[in-house]
Structure 1
Amino acid sequence: MDAIYRWQVGIYDATRKFYLLGRDRLIDELAPPAGGTVLEVGCGTGRNLVVAARRYPQARFYGFDVSPVMLAEARRAVARAGLADRIRLARADAAGFDPLTCFARDGFDRVFCSYTLSMIPPWQEALGRAMAAVLPGGSLHVVDFGGQGQLPALFRLGLRAWLAQFHVTPRDGVAETLAALAATEGCALRLERPYRDYAVHAVATRPALA
């Protein structure tokens, strides 16, 4: 991953905004409680964490990434934004993430994955870890590439061929996996396929303690 992104880390955010659709909507829907905690799985350059921390000044934010190159850029972005006191970062693998080891926490009020599952080969394990990190009454928010089944076939093929150059693979089974995981965990699930199935947008809410 470092070999892929080392040369483009400086232009990553400027280029991705045109096709990582739905990221800001996900942030708008986080709405953490006052004093709440928010975790981003695969924080990349830190762009989402900075936007979210500005949007919700009453919350504390955490993020991790497996790539030292991206994590270094995230630290610089957080420092430039003057948010180092509210955003904590760590290096970790999404498929083996442990909130206690990384951040000395049992879990988080909000956990989100923004176009990360399509970059993680063991994405089912990463999704399970993300769900496990959600506290009672909290929620998991996911946005990623969908199946593009309602879009022209040539567009779908071209998009996937282009994404493959960056080792990005849309996960055609992500909606079904989310539904099964939510059912197993007893979570309510809202799942949408916006932009004619270009993306998958989901929120899984864990019941609060009685």
Structure 2
Amino acid sequence: MDAVYRRQRHFYDLTRKYYLLGRDPMIRDLAPPRGGSVLEIGCGTGRNLIAVGREWPAARLYGVDISQAMLDTAQVAVERVGMCSRMRLMQADACAFDPQALFGRASFDRVFISYALSMIPDWEAALAQAAKCVAPGGRLEVVDFGAQEELPVVWKRLLSGWLGRFHVTPRATLGQAMERAAREVGGLAHFRSLYRGYAVRGGLVRV
């Protein structure tokens, strides 16, 4: 992933903001408890965690990403906005990491994944790992590309070709995988289509 992002990281946020739809509504819905903990899996340039920090100024922020190049960019951004004391970023594989070893805590009040599962080969393992990181009473939230089932066939073909250039594959069975992940941790899942199937939003509440 460092090879993919070594150049892209410098203009990633500028280009992605036009088509990674649904990220900011998800962030506004996180609503962590005061002083609560928020973990982003696949935090990339830190754009989303910084937005969480601005929306929820009392939250403690954590992020993991497999790309050190992206984390380097994120750290610069975090320093620029003065959030170093509130945020910790670590390199880790989304499919298998030990939050206790990385951050000194086993679970988080809110965990979220924004447009990352579509880039992770073993995305179901990453989803299951994310669910395990949710504290009792906490939530996991996911937003990603959908199957574009209600959009014109030509649009779907063009978008799929474009996304393929960036190693992105929409996960058609994300809803079912979310249900399984919820059952494994004793949680309740939710899932819905956005923008006529362009994107999907899902998650779980751990009870």
Task: Give TM-score, length-normalised by structure 2.
Answer: 0.98
Partners in 1 of 2:68 and 2:106 — Cα distance?
25
- Tell me the equivalent position of 1:191: 191
- Tell me the equivalent position of 1:103: 103
SS state at 1:112 partner: strand
Once the two structures are superposed, what CA deviation does each residue of 1:91-127 show, in whole Å capped at 9, x if it has no partner?
Answer: 0000112111211101000000000101100100000
Q: How far off its partner does 1:199 sit?
A: 0.8
Q: Which has the higher mean CA deviation after the structures are superposed, 84-93 or 184-193? A: 184-193
Determine what percentage of the aligned residue pairs are the same residue.
52
- Tell me the equivalent position of 1:79: 79
- Tell me the equivalent position of 2:3: 3
Partners in 1 of 2:112 and 2:48 — Cα distance?
10
Partners in 2 of 1:94 and 1:185 — Cα distance?
17
Q: How far off its partner does 1:190 sit?
A: 2.2
1:203 correspondence with 2:203:
yes
Partners in 2 of 1:69 and 1:120 — Cα distance?
17
SS state at 2:85 partner: coil
Partners in 1 of 2:186 and 2:193 — Cα distance?
22
Partners in 2 of 1:186 and 1:198 — Cα distance?
29
Partners in 2 of 1:190 and 1:24 — Cα distance?
18
Q: Which has the higher mean CA deviation after the structures are superposed, 36-45 or 1-10? A: 1-10
Q: Report 1:53-92 matches (<5 A).
A: 53-92=53-92
- Tell me the equivalent position of 2:149: 149
Partners in 1 of 2:148 and 2:179 — Cα distance?
19
**How many residues matched?**
207
Q: How far off its partner does 1:183 sit?
A: 2.9
Q: How far off its partner does 1:54 sit?
A: 0.8
- Tell me the equivalent position of 1:94: 94
Q: Which runs of at least 4 in structure 1 moved beyond 3 Å after TM superposition?
A: none
Partners in 2 of 1:203 and 1:120 — Cα distance?
17
Kindly report the root-mean-square deviation, in angstroms, between the aligned alpha carbons of the 2 structures.
0.9
SS state at 2:7 partner: coil
Q: How far off its partner does 1:22 sit?
A: 0.3
Letter in 2 for 1:78: V
Q: How far off its partner does 1:169 sit?
A: 1.0
- Tell me the equivalent position of 1:45: 45
- Tell me the equivalent position of 1:16: 16
Q: Which runs of 5+ in 2 are unaligned?
A: none
Q: Is the 2:178–2:203 Cα contact (8 Å) retained in structure 1?
A: no
Q: Which runs of 5+ in 1 are unaligned?
A: none
Letter in 2 for 1:120: I
Partners in 2 of 1:37 and 1:45 — Cα distance?
19
Q: Is the 2:94–2:129 Cα contact (8 Å) retained in structure 1?
A: yes
Partners in 2 of 1:191 and 1:170 — Cα distance?
15
Task: Give TM-score, length-normalised by structure 1.
Answer: 0.96
1:179 correspondence with 2:182:
no
Q: How far off its partner does 1:9 sit?
A: 1.1
